[in-house]
């Protein structure tokens, strides 16, 4: 049975199970990681996004529309991103996957070169936006060092700041998230690199009720980079119980040397 999941789990803004946590300790709140991790899992979903980039001079680009199909479990996450419009990105694809303890693999191909995809950096942005491939996987929730940093507020909603750090030195040094205590939804996520520079901030700007249950999901988010530019991402469609076909990840499976 497919899980009822918020479409914006693909950018690690995750709706959870409605659990509350104590905040008088720097220990990871009981149930936090489990709630967030469980919220990622899905047998199949599709979400359609409109991404508008605003540069440091506040000049807005025409929106880019994409569809994201995904599957996620404790053992593996994989995503297929298809460009919808404008013409420059139409039917251009990105496929990416990560096993539980493995690296992220990502590949791009166009409408005429499915047999010749190219490997891409997982820290690159999708179609030159601030929507970073690495963020799809919410890798920081699996890191061993998780500490509560006290209560905060984002757009009028109370949340708990949680600092996530990896066990070893990585390109990303830490991620700081403010998680809604009721719905286990990350309202703000700050990503810092190995030089302790803030690389980007992901913020939920608008919330709506999920169709499938009483939970909340992000309807609109912004992703701001260190230069002052940012991307606005609006959800305009999707399916929380998308039926993934055998050929959906065919290119990815061939590239990784696996069979369906």
Please name each of the domains of the chain with its CATH number. Answer: 7-255 (2.50.20.10)
Average pLDDT estimate for 140-167: 91
Whole-number average pLDDT of the chain? 83
pLDDT, tens digit, 9 for 90 and up, residues 203-251:
999 877 665 555 666 788 999 988 888 999 999 888 878 889 888 999 9
Would you place residue 16 in the very low, low, confident or very high pLDDT band (cuts 50, 70, 90)? very low
Asked whether the predicted pLDDT for residue 67 surpasses 90, the reply is: yes
Average the pLDDT over each of 51-55, 128-132, 217-221, 242-246 and give the range with the smallest value: 217-221
> Other C-beta atoms within 10 Å of 232: how many?
18
Q: Is the dihedral of CA 33, 35, 40, 41 positive or negative?
A: positive
- Contact partners, residue 209, CB within 8 Å, separation at least 6: 215, 216, 217
CA–CA dist 88, 189 (Å, integer): 30
**Residue 234's Cα: distance from chain center in Å?**
14
Alpha helix stretches (DSSP H) within the chain? 32-40, 250-255
Average pLDDT estimate for 179-183: 80
Cα–Cα–Cα angle for 236, 187, 19, rounded to 5 degrees: 105
DSSP 212: S
CA–CA dist 124, 4 (Å, integer): 29
Average pLDDT estimate for 152-177: 92
Least Cα distance to 108 among 226, 255, 260 occurs for 255
pLDDT at 127: 84
Least Cα distance to 193 among 176, 170, 173 occurs for 173
pLDDT at 123: 93
Q: What pTM, to 2 d.p., does this model score? A: 0.83
Please say whether the beta carbons of 127 and 66 come within 8 A: yes
pLDDT at 69: 95
Asked whether the predicted pLDDT for residue 65 surpasses 80, the reply is: yes
């Amino acid at each position: 049975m497919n899980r009822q999941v918020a479409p914006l789990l693909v950018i690690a803004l995750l709706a959870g199970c409605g659990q509350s946590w104590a905040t008088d300790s720097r220990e990871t709140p009981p149930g936090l990681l489990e709630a967030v991790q469980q919220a990622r899992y899905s047998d199949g979903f599709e979400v359609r996004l409109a991404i508008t980039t605003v540069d440091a001079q506040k000049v807005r680009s025409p929106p880019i529309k994409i569809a994201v199909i995904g599957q996620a479990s404790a053992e593996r996450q994989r995503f297929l991103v298809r460009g919808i419009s404008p013409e420059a990105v139409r039917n251009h694809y990105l496929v990416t996957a990560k096993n539980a303890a493995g690296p992220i693999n990502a590949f791009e191909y166009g409408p005429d070169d499915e047999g010749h995809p190219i490997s891409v950096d997982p820290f690159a942005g999708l179609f030159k936006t601030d929507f970073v491939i690495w963020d799809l996987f919410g890798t920081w929730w699996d890191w061993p060092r998780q500490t509560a940093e006290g209560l905060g507020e984002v757009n009028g909603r109370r949340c708990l700041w949680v600092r996530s750090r990896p066990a070893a030195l990585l390109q990303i040094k830490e991620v700081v998230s403010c998680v809604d205590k009721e719905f286990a939804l990350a309202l703000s996520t700050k990503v810092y690199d190995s030089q302790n520079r803030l690389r980007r901030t992901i913020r939920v700007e608008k919330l709506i009720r999920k169709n499938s249950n009483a939970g909340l999901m992000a309807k609109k988010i912004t992703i701001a980079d260190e230069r002052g530019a940012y991307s606005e991402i609006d959800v305009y469609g999707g399916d929380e119980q998308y039926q993934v076909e055998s050929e959906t990840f065919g290119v990815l499976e061939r590239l990784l040397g696996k069979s369906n």
